[in-house]
């Protein structure tokens, strides 16, 4: 595949992921279908033999979030931990806060508060490192609602 074709392929995956994320609170079946399609496309090796890691991390994050929403915590955690692995291995900082948020959410929902808090603190550190004041404020509020 040429660079131009790879770029178009990646744009398609990015568009699918963006649509899936936009719909994850309003049209779960459609969101799941779009994220699954993006995941399959992103996992397909390009001409150099590697998958599109950013696209795969985003789709796994969305799928994990959707699994959490439907109460399938084991599947959601599996998807999110795969996404976390990709984020850490390839420094995909743009996706990392969302992944950490999803993991923290699952641990909170299953009652493992110490682990949930640990992931929230990691999310806060990433947000601070990124200089994302809005996300820092949100996470700080979640960690200590009385301080906001």
Within 10 angstroms of residue 76's Cβ, the number of other Cβ atoms is 23
Q: What's residue 104's pLDDT?
A: 97
What six digits make up the tokens of 5? 């074709």
Residue ranges in the chain assigned as alpha helix (H): 3-23, 28-43, 53-69, 73-90, 96-109, 113-130, 133-143
With bands split at pLDDT 50, 70 and 90, how would you rate the model's confidence at 1? very low
Cα radius of gyration (the chain): 16
CA dist., res. 128 & res. 55, Å (int): 24
| pLDDT tens readout for residues 100-112 | 999 999 999 999 9
What six digits make up the tokens of 58? 């985003």
Q: What's residue 111's pLDDT?
A: 97
DSSP secondary structure code for residue 145 in this structure = G
Q: Which residue has the tokens 């568009």?
A: 15
93 vs 145, residue with greater confidence: 93
Write the CB contacts of 88 (distance below 8 Å, at least 6 apart in sequence): 96
Q: What's residue 147's pLDDT?
A: 65
CA dist., res. 143 & res. 120, Å (int): 7
With bands split at pLDDT 50, 70 and 90, how would you rate the model's confidence at 32? very high
Q: Which residue has the tokens 């808090």?
A: 117
| pLDDT tens readout for residues 47-88 | 778 899 999 999 999 999 999 999 999 999 999 999 999 999
């Amino acid at each position: 595949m040429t660079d131009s074709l790879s770029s178009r392929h990646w744009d398609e995956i990015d568009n699918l992921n963006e649509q899936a994320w936009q719909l994850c609170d309003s049209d779960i079946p459609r969101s799941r279908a779009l994220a699954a399609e993006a995941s399959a496309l992103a996992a397909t090796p390009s001409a150099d033999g590697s998958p599109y890691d950013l696209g795969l991390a985003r789709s796994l994050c969305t799928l994990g979030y959707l699994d959490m929403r439907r109460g399938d915590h084991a599947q959601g955690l599996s998807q999110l931990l795969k996404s976390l692995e990709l984020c850490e291995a390839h420094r995909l900082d743009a996706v990392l806060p969302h992944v950490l948020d999803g993991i923290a959410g699952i641990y909170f929902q299953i009652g493992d508060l110490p682990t949930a808090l640990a992931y929230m603190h990691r999310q806060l550190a990433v947000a601070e490192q990124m200089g994302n004041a809005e996300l820092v404020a949100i996470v700080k509020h979640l960690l200590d609602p009385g301080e906001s």
